[in-house]
Amino acid sequence: MHLLIKQYSNVLLVALLAIISGCTVVPGAYHSTTPGWFIDEAENEDAEPLPDVIKVHSINTAILNKDADSESVAAVDEDLVLDGKSYDYTVGPGDVLQITVWDHPELTIPAGSQRSSSESGNLIHSDGSIFYPYVGVLHVEGMKVTQIRDLVTERLAKFIESPQVDVSVAAFRNKRIYVTGEVGEPGVYPITNVPMRLVDAIGEAGGILQTADWNKVILTRQGNDYELSLREVYQRGNKAHNVMLRPGDVINVSPVTDSKVFVLGEVGKPASLEMNRNGISLAEALAENGGLDQRQSDASGVFVFRKAARGKEHGIDVYQLNAKDAAALVLADNFPLQERDIVYVTAAPLAKWNRVLSLILPSVSALFLGSRTEAAIRD
């Protein structure tokens, strides 16, 4: 799917370059009396009706508030929601138990200067059992330490009057998670008697690198992939994304180097830009590329082309910013770009852009319909 999105953006990019190169030579310039919006056919005879595959939006405070609301409630799959209050570690093969019987040092193998607790404790064997003096072989796999304590106490009571027993895990080796990608120390990390959440695992792995896309953390669990966002946790306090991890989970922090936007048209330096882990706003993208060309650009025609979300009836969302408006810079700074967005600053009057979008349609409709058909077949 990711490859399809890239292919879609590349086709759209080529189509834009081919079409836009000649759009300014169309005679009969017309300027809108309604700044910040597209011209429709009713307003001017030169304007072309927009194709159904394209949906246009004006970048204004209403759309920014809508986007902010949708971002603040980023959904997390219900399968990931676990209650940490009921969490209790259960032991398994590879774990090491430390069993202490008070006032009976002969039953406790002490750790010394030459041996740690994990070396002197009771290893749970591959069959899930341990051996303890007087008690013999106990099958403890899948049990909590409190259950093991009660079991050992009950068995020792036949030989010792009112034994006082304490059981703890000296080494956690049975349950593990895997952290890969753009982190300081990728590797395997144990799950302990303290619930481990996403942020805990990232911290254990040395934190994320500058090259990390903290909006795209992939959690693989039992063959299923779930997308999480560290930005939701760190910047917006969205605890839903700080999911509790299970044994066998694989966390992959994606790199940000593949996330690009394209800035074209009447700007100082048309080019592609790599997005950093904090994303990039429309204002930043324009500034990085030299801003608007004051001699050639039409400030009312700053456009952002974006592939529509899956499930939408249309294929392309087009956002327009009227940079002649005094509030435009604030709006642009608060409009976040998404991966593979295409920003274009036109020299043509707005009326001609309905015609330009109509010309783009044959180049993208086949690809849009193909992706929708493929998604329907896959579902």
pLDDT tens sequence across 360-379: 555 555 544 454 444 444 55
Q: 197: pLDDT confidence band, cut at 50, 70 and 90?
A: very high
For every residue of 25-66, DSSP letters joined together read G-SS----SSTTSPPPTTT-TTPPPPPTTEEEEE-SHHHHHH
Contact 351, 47 (CB under 8 A): yes
- For 284-333, the pLDDT digits (tens) are 988 888 887 777 766 777 889 888 877 777 788 889 888 777 777 788 88
Domains and CATH numbers, the chain: 2-74+258-378 (3.10.560.10), 82-86+184-247 (3.10.560.10), 96-171 (3.30.1950.10)
Per-residue pLDDT averaged across 342-355, rounded? 71
- For 138-161, the pLDDT digits (tens) are 999 999 999 999 999 999 999 888
Q: Is the pLDDT of residue 353 over 70?
A: no
Q: Is the pLDDT of residue 119 over 90?
A: no
Q: Is the pLDDT of residue 44 over 90?
A: no
pLDDT for the residue 25: 35
When mean pLDDT is compared across 26-30, 71-75, 241-245, 321-325, the lowest value belongs to: 26-30
Q: Is the pLDDT of residue 66 over 80?
A: no
Distance (Å) of CA 289 to CA 235, 261, 263, 265: 27, 11, 7, 11
Average per-residue pLDDT in the chain? 77
Q: Is the pLDDT of residue 208 over 70?
A: yes
Q: In a 3-state reduction of DSSP, which class is residue 75?
A: coil
